[in-house]
Structure formats: C-alpha cells, structure tokens
C-alpha cells in the first residue's frame, strides 16, 4: 500500500469514529465482532430510544420482572 492509501484509510476511519458514536456499528464495518448479535440488537434498540426491558423481551424473548429492570438502570446510572 502506498502512503496515500494508508493516509486515506486513516482519515476515513477517523471520520467514521467521529461521526458515529456507536462503537458496535464501527467495528462491524471493519469486520470486527465485539459482542454477540443478540447483544448488539439490544444495544441498537436502547440507543434508538427503547427501554432495556422491552429490548430484552423482544430480542431475547424473555420478559424480566420490573424490579430487575430498575436495578439494572440503577447500576447503569451509578456507573456513569
């Protein structure tokens, strides 16, 4: 590869990272699988505005009690 191609690839990757904050989308475009498909589906659901419990119920097919959802949200808020 020439220096021009390497520089073009670096600029493309930098722009992709800067414009799209979803790391799973970026890694998928590069052919890297960071997590299983079901986990990526849940992340996409939540980032689109859905709730964690609804996403889990739709994608995995298992409903969770409301107190588990609240506990998961509390852990998420505390870790942020």
Q: What is the pLDDT of residues 21-36, one digit of tens each?
A: 677 777 888 888 888 8
Instruction: Spell out the domain ranges in the chain.
Output: 1-34, 35-79
Tokens of 45: 């659901």
Rounded to whole angstroms, the Cα distance separating 30 from 16 reads 11
Does residue 2 have a pLDDT over 80?
A: yes
pLDDT of residue 76: 65
pLDDT confidence of residue 20: 67
Which string of b and e fits 7-40 if b means at least 16 CB within 10 Å? eeeeeeeeeeeeeeeeebebeeeeeeeeeeeeeb
Compute the mean pLDDT over every residue in the chain, rounded to the nearest whole number.
Answer: 76
Q: Residues 42-66: what's their mean pLDDT?
A: 74
pTM as predicted: 0.44
Tell me how far CA of residue 5 lies from CA of 9, 36, 38, 72, in angstroms: 6, 32, 35, 45
| pLDDT, position 80 | 47
């Amino acid at each position: 590869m020439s220096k021009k191609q390497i520089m073009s690839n670096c600029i493309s990757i930098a722009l992709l990272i800067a414009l799209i904050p979803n790391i799973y989308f970026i890694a998928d475009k590069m052919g890297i699988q960071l997590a299983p498909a079901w986990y990526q589906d849940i992340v996409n659901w939540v980032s689109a505005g859905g709730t964690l419990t609804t996403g889990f119920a739709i994608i995995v097919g298992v409903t969770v009690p409301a107190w588990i959802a609240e506990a998961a949200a509390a852990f998420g808020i505390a870790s942020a």
